[in-house]
Structures are given as C-alpha cells and as structure tokens.
Amino acid sequence: MNKKYAICFNPEMTNSVEVKEDLSKILDKHSLEYKVLDIEAMTPGFDFVFVIGGDGTILKAARFYSDFDTPVLGINLGRLGFLSQTTPANLDSTICKILNGEYKLEHRMMLSGGGYSALNDFAIKGSSAGRTSRFALQINGKLVCEYLADGIIISTPTGSTAYGMAAGGPVLSPDMEAIAIVPICPHTFSARPIVVSAKDEIKIVPCPNNEYTVAVDGQFVFNLTGDLVITKSEKKAILALLIENDFYSVLRNKLHWGVSPAKI
C-alpha cells in the first residue's frame, strides 16, 4: 500500500511558502501521495509528516501526531533547528534518503501535567516580574526541598538541550527515561539541578502569597492555582532522524559542544 505523506508548514515564517512549494515539486516528481497542511490546521491520517519551520513548529507537530503514532521530520527555517534534520538546500537528497529507508525512528518521552503534554518541558515561574518566588518540590509524595528562585524547569531528555540547558541543567541522551529538574536563578549556592526516574511523580506545591504561571514547551501558558503534578506521558513523540545525524554530532555541529577553540 502506498504511503500517505503530509507537508506541514508555518506560513508566518519567512520562506516557508517557497520551501513548501519546492518540497511539493519533489514529492510530485516521485509520484507520492501527499497533502499540504497549515500548522494551525493539522489533521490525522498520514504515515509520515514533513514539518517546515523552526523548533517551535516541530514541537507543535510532534505533540499533535504523537496521538496517532505518526513520525515527523523537521526541515529547518529557524535559527538553531535542534530538532530538525535537514535544510531547504538539501531537500532533494533528504527525500531520496527517506524513500530509500536511510533513516531511523526515535520514540521520544513526553511529560503530562495540568491537562497538557510536553515534549520539551514545563517551566513554572512566579507571575510577578522582578521578584523571586518560593517553589515547594515533592517527589512521590515526599518533600524534597523549597526553592527560592525565579522559576523551575521540569524537562524531558529531549528538552534538556533547550531551556533547561540554558538555565545550567544537564544534557541528557534523548533515549533515556529520566526527568531533569532545574531551578532558574536560585538564590542559594546549594540549589542544584537533579535528575530523577521517569517513573517518579513530581509535584510543584504553591507556597502562600505567591502566584505562578506555567509554560508548556514555551507555547501554552496558564496560571497555576493549585498543585501541579507532572508525570511521564503515556504518549511518545516519534521523530524521523537521518542516519548521519546522531545525537552527539548534533551537539557538536549546532551547539559547538566539545569543540576546541580556534587557533589565533
């Protein structure tokens, strides 16, 4: 049976329409069945989805298609493009690799909390700008500590190279089953990021006289009015990765990790 493909693009991004047209021509050349979708109007029913945009666009598509076990492959139009696998300049060769099976599928762990799913992270912050807040952290019903900080990030391994890393958290291999907990600008030297099992239940308990907001993958924001319980989601996002793009090569090429300084 022939596979059904989709091209999902973000029309608000520069050059996205042009790249969508170029990709459509390539799929037509290979006589493939496909449908073009706006990122704000995604639908199920496909075997493989090409996503044109930045990491935010890919996150949104990956979360949506996790409900249908559909793999997504990112074509980068953003700056870093950590989740993407190719660029507009390499579309022809990328499609050939996909059709020849020169790719792998990674099932990425997600988190669930407050009625939302996150592929990257939940970021809890005090809603009053310019002041710190207290955050009580419980794991499996046991008090771990209270943070006096600007916020706290609860991150998946995929999200460990995003906001969590920028806040000084650890980089986790994406195939791990673990959760990183990273305080943002803590007001004590003893507050350090920790990594716990994906089986653990994490609870953020509001402290009196504090107000909080929660950002999910940096895209959904809601006010925290009670305890926030975060656990491993039953769903997994499926990312299609080109064989040559292993995790550590992406760290070196996009984040310049472990690269010696250039000679003067």
Q: Residue 120: which CATH number?
A: 2.60.200.30
pLDDT tens digits for 181-235? 999 998 887 889 999 999 999 999 988 877 899 999 999 999 998 999 999 999 9
Residue ending a domain, choose from 48, 71, 101 = 101
Q: Are 107 and 236 in contact (CB under 8 A)?
A: yes
Q: Are 183 and 146 in contact (CB under 8 A)?
A: no
Asked if residue 151 and residue 119 are part of one domain, the reply reads yes
Asked if residue 54 and residue 92 are part of one domain, the reply reads yes
Asked if residue 89 and residue 132 are part of one domain, the reply reads no
The one-character DSSP state at 40 is G
CATH number at residue 49: 3.40.50.10330
pLDDT tens digits for 40-81? 999 999 999 999 998 999 999 999 999 999 999 999 886 767
In a domain? residue 19 = yes
Task: Report the predicted TM-score, pTM, of the whole model to 2 decimal places.
Answer: 0.91
Domain of residue 27, residue span: 4-101
In a domain? residue 72 = yes
Would you say residue 163 has pLDDT above 70? yes
Average pLDDT over residues 127-138: 80
- Among the listed residues 55, 121, 150, 217, the single catalytic one is 55
Asked if residue 123 and residue 13 are part of one domain, the reply reads no
Q: Which residues contact 101 (CB under 8 A, 6 or more apart)?
A: none
The pLDDT score that the predictor gives to residue 80 is: 67
The structural domain count of the chain equals 2
Integer CA distances (angstroms), 99 to 48, 95, 174, in order: 11, 6, 25
What is the spatial distance between Cα 120 and Cα 38, in angstroms, rounded to a whole number?
22
Asked if residue 117 and residue 223 are part of one domain, the reply reads yes
55 has catalytic annotation: yes
Q: Taken in order 80, 158, 161, 12, is the CA torsion positive or negative?
A: positive
Q: Are 45 and 72 in contact (CB under 8 A)?
A: no
What is the spatial distance between Cα 40 and Cα 23, in angstroms, rounded to a whole number?
19
